[in-house]
Each structure stands twice: as C-alpha cells, then as structure tokens.
Amino acid sequence: IISRSIDPIQSGVITLGKIEAGTIRNVIAGQARIEGTIRGLTQNMILTIDQRLKEICLGIEKSFGVEVKLDLNQGGYWPVENNPQLTKNFISYMKSQPTVNFITTEPKMTGEDFGFLLAKFPGTMFWLGVGNPDSQLHTATLNPDEKSIQRGVDAIKGFLINRMRQ
C-alpha cells in the first residue's frame, strides 16, 4: 500500500506489530489476529490507507476462500494538520523574538489528541524544547528543565498579544 498507492512525498506508515495464531508449531492455525497502527501526515492520507486495506482484505478473502474481519479504529488520534496561515504567523513571530530559540523541525507522523482539535478549530502545534537534549519524550530518562515551561508561556503570551493587535 505504502509503496504503490501513496505519494512518496506525502508518506504514510503501516506497522503490524502484534501477530497471534495457533497453539503449537506443527499445526496450521485455524485463525490469526494481526494488530498494528497506521500513520499519515494528513487525515486524507489515513483514509486512503484505510480504503486500500479494505480492498486488499476483500482480495485475500476471494483469493484464499477465507474470512477477513478488518476493524479500523483511529481512536481520536488524528494527524496534526496545522492551519497554514496561523502557522506562518506563529513562525514569523517566534523567529523575530530575541528571547526565543526557534528551531524548525521536519513534519512528524505523530498521533496526537491535539490533531483531533485541529480538525475542529484552526490552530498550530509546536514543540517546546525542554533544555536537555538527552531527555526524550516517552522514556524513563525524561527530565525537562522546568524553566523551559515559563519561557514557553512567555513566548506564547507574546504571540497572542501580538495577534490581538493585528
């Protein structure tokens, strides 16, 4: 699906991370369960992947005379699709501030609850640096510099005040 049905510039990921089948190694399993995740840079990309998965499952059913049950559950974790104009204004403001160490990052295929909000309201997501390059999210070593929080609050407050003046 990814290599044949998705624009390589758009990008998408299908990860099949859990497979359960059978009870012993020398008996063909009567059923199997595969679980995984789908990621994409846009909701349309995820819907395209979903549709292709459905089509392929129908093909497997017909080709092998089996029943395939496909359960797609996004669970509220939508891709982050920032509002282009608001994001442009945000970046411009942050780059102009001498107290802000603004760093541009490449797009990421994060599954975020914030993505669900951005599907309803225009906004932009940014990452607040934590002042410790060895401190990674979702790890036991996460140890942010708490002073980063106040610097982030001050920067956002400045952006909002600037935006209200426009």
**CATH 3.30.70.360 at 2-64, yes or no:** yes
- Beta pairing class for 78-79 and 32-40: unpaired
User: What percentage of the chain's residues is helix, strand, coil (to nearest 5)?
Assistant: 40, 15, 45
Instruction: Summarize pLDDT for 55-114 with one digit per residue, the tens.
Output: 999 999 999 999 999 999 987 688 889 999 999 999 999 999 999 989 888 877 766 788
Taking phi over 0 as left and psi of -120 to 50 as alpha, with beta for the rest, 34 belongs to: beta
pTM over 0.85: no
The structural domains of the chain, with segments of one domain joined by +, span 2-64, 78-165
Instruction: Summarize pLDDT for 101-141 with one digit per residue, the tens.
Output: 898 888 777 667 888 899 899 999 988 877 667 777 777 88
